[in-house]
Amino acid sequence: MPVNLTSNAISAIIGGDLNLKPLVQVIDIKLIGSSQDRYRLLISDSISTQQAMLATQLNDRVKSGSVNKGSVIQLIDYICSTVQNRKIIVVLNLETIIPDCEIIGNPRPLMEFDSAPKPLLNGDSMGPPRTVIGSSVPMNAGSRVQNVRSNVVQQSYQPRPTVQPPYQPPAPNYKNHGAIVKNEAPARIIPIAALNPYQGRWAIKARVTAKGDLRRYNNARGDGKVFSFDLLDSDGGEIRVTCFNAVVDRFYDSIEVGKVYLISKGSLKPAQKNFNHLKNEWEIFLETTSTVEICPDEDSSIPKQQFSFSRIIEIENTENNSVLDIIGVVTSVNPSVPILRKNGMETQRRVLNLKDQSGRSVELTLWGELCNKEGRELQDMVDSGFSPVLAVKAGKVNDFSGKSVGTISASQLFINPEFPEAYSLRQWFDSGGKDTASQSISRDIMPGGQRNEIRKTVSQIKEEGLGRADKPDWVTVKAYVSFIKTDTFCYTACPLMIGDRQCSKKVIKSGDTRWQCERCNQEFEECDYRYLIQAQVQDHTGLTWVTAFQETGEEIMGCSAKQLYSLKNDEQDDGRFEEVIRQSLFNQYLLKLKIKEEMYGDEQKVKITVVKAEKVDPSSEGRYLLDLISNVSQRRL
């Protein structure tokens, strides 16, 4: 069918017309490399061609085939940006009119004209008469503009011709805004998904879904402070905003979770994926010139929060340190216990269990303030006989002793939330799911295990050649700790925090009173102490050497490495030190072991690491043995 593209549309867009909604044709499509795929288009209005960038939320249009080379599309929403003195049209929304079509017209690249004509000097040799293209050319004179443009190109070039831009739209009329100086017109609101560093001026309207704590840091450039918050807009786009130092003072108190803001004049930089879990390749850094304005009227088009829930059974195959959203029914809540953090500060930890319709349950660890208000509320509900539904936004996967989920600074808890997934869980649990057996992916299943638990004896580790395959073996051994080396039971560690985690790398002395971390390239007066225990464990079949690090060391020793180091070296109280060691020996544990062959110099040795040490509970162990006897009897029958 015949198609008429919008004549001179590209000239109009380059000139500033953003309300035209023209029909154009895709001449070429190229995938450009970055951390997130982007497509660059060459579009035509049958007269001129121009480079364009497709917003990432439209990538599916290309992948699905609705936008191809030759497609006729209508630009619904777009902006024009300058990149290295070249204009690029950023397409934010479009509709495909004809998926496949022959190339229309004979389009050529849009000529770059000077913004103002230069006066002619007397004596200039103009050569043959030249045609001057002015802004008076009507928009529907496509064929005449093409002929005139061809004449200009074919002229022999001597001095530079006097020309004007092909189209100059009327300047926008900003009523009731007072005097407008250059580049001070209100920025156009665009979706978060369309943000990119090529835009000179932009504004977004979004809701704050999470606000981080104010953190202080020290590096080679001195002391500083920083905080971040996450934004969500009506199109589902998310992005993190970060403020430093003086900008923190401007905006920290005014940012509230749940409020909607207009934000502009920030800079876009690649997101630091080590600390930023949002699905956006960019991050906004606010500056002293940035503006943040609260929207007094509630915008119902912007959701309060956005979730992408993973079923618990899917966490089994999720990579360590992944950040995800989960929802489940709380079946048990442990009391909150104080934990001495690796930086010497005390915090709270509370462990609870979630189950869902997938037939799996998972251990969720709450840290810090979440243990108090939300954690106490959950414990009160469970103690009263009610199992609440809990949604977790931004939980971090841990593969330490199976798979578990823990909270981070960006995590949020929603108790009995009002959305479909929660209603579905509640109905399932109340109609029989409460009594449905579920298999834990945290404490009972070891990675690679086919059963709830792989029990081995000490002698079987060597007899079966465990740890010599490509992947480590994970087993559980019931054994006693019979000997602990006391000359080197810990090491000096870096106390600095990298994001939500402590550095923990070994540090060295720098002078008489300071320590230096080569990884962080910083010095500090006090270091941390972390367990690195070499111990012998034994059962009725034999004994073997194992290594226990920080958490398992605390479980075995009953105190922190710093406390034990102080007893031995600072206080030099040999009596109390020996008593701590003596009380740690010949207790029976269920030791969950990671067994892997590693290179030590030129020799390969099997290394056995304790990843979890639990004192044997007689009741639980008795039930395990009864089940084992029952299973053996059934097989014999």
pLDDT in tens, 118-156: 443 343 433 444 333 333 334 444 444 344 333 333 333
d(CA 368, CA 213): 12
Burial tier of 348 (Cβ tally within 10 Å: 0-12, 13-18, 19+):
middle
Residue 143 lies in a domain: no
Whole-number Å distance between alpha carbons of 208 and 202: 18
Amino acid code (one letter) for 564: L
Phi, psi angles (nearest 5°) of residue 452: -60, -30
In a shared domain, residues 233 and 256: yes
- Asked whether residue 326 falls in the same domain as residue 436, the answer is yes
CA 451 to CA 625: how far, in whole Å? 15
The answer as to whether 430 is a domain residue is yes
CB 421 within 8 A of CB 354: no
In a domain, 518, yes or no: no
- Tell me the per-residue pLDDT of 456-492, one tens digit each, with 9 for 90 and over: 999 999 888 888 887 788 889 999 999 999 988 999 9
Q: Domain check: are 429 and 484 in the same one?
A: no
pLDDT at 177 over 70: no
405 in a structural domain: yes
Residue 83 included in any domain: yes
Distance of CA 637 to the CA centre of its chain: 54
Q: Give the integer Cα–Cα distance in Å for 331 and 328.
A: 9
How many degrees, rounded to 5, is the angle at CA 398 between CA 392 and CA 399? 140
**Domain end among 232, 261, 294:** 294
Instruction: Write the pLDDT tens digit of every residue in 482-523.
Output: 999 998 899 999 988 776 567 888 998 888 888 888 888 888
Domain annotation covers residue 373: yes
Q: Is residue 179 part of a domain?
A: no
In this structure, are 481 and 358 located in the same domain? no
Residue 472 sits in the same domain as residue 612:
yes
* Least confidently predicted of 19-23, 354-358, 545-549: 19-23
Whole-prediction pTM: 0.48
Query: Which secondary-structure segment (H or E) carries 421?
Result: helix 420-430
For residue 550 the two structure tokens come to 């920080």
- CA torsion angle 229 233 236 237 (round to 10): -60
Domain end: 294, 318, 340, which one? 294
Min mean pLDDT across 31-45, 133-147, 195-209 is at 133-147
Number of Cβ within 10 Å of residue 345's Cβ equals 9
Last residue of a domain, one of 51, 80, 109: 109
399 and 278 within one domain: no
Query: What is the reported pLDDT for 148?
Result: 37
Q: Domain check: are 240 and 324 in the same one?
A: no
Q: To the nearest 5 percent, what fractions of the chain are helix, strand and coil? A: 20, 35, 45
pLDDT of residue 377: 93
Length of the chain, in residues? 637
CATH code: domain of residue 336: 2.40.50.140
Return the pLDDT at 123.
39
Q: Return d(Cα 259, Cα 297) in angstroms, integer.
A: 10
Nearest to 219 by CA among 523, 510, 526: 523
- Residue 499 belongs to a domain: no
Strand partners, 294: 261
Number of separate domains in the chain: 4
Same domain for 485 and 350? no
Q: Identify whether residues 212 and 333 lie together within a single domain.
A: no
**96 lies in which domain range?**
9-109
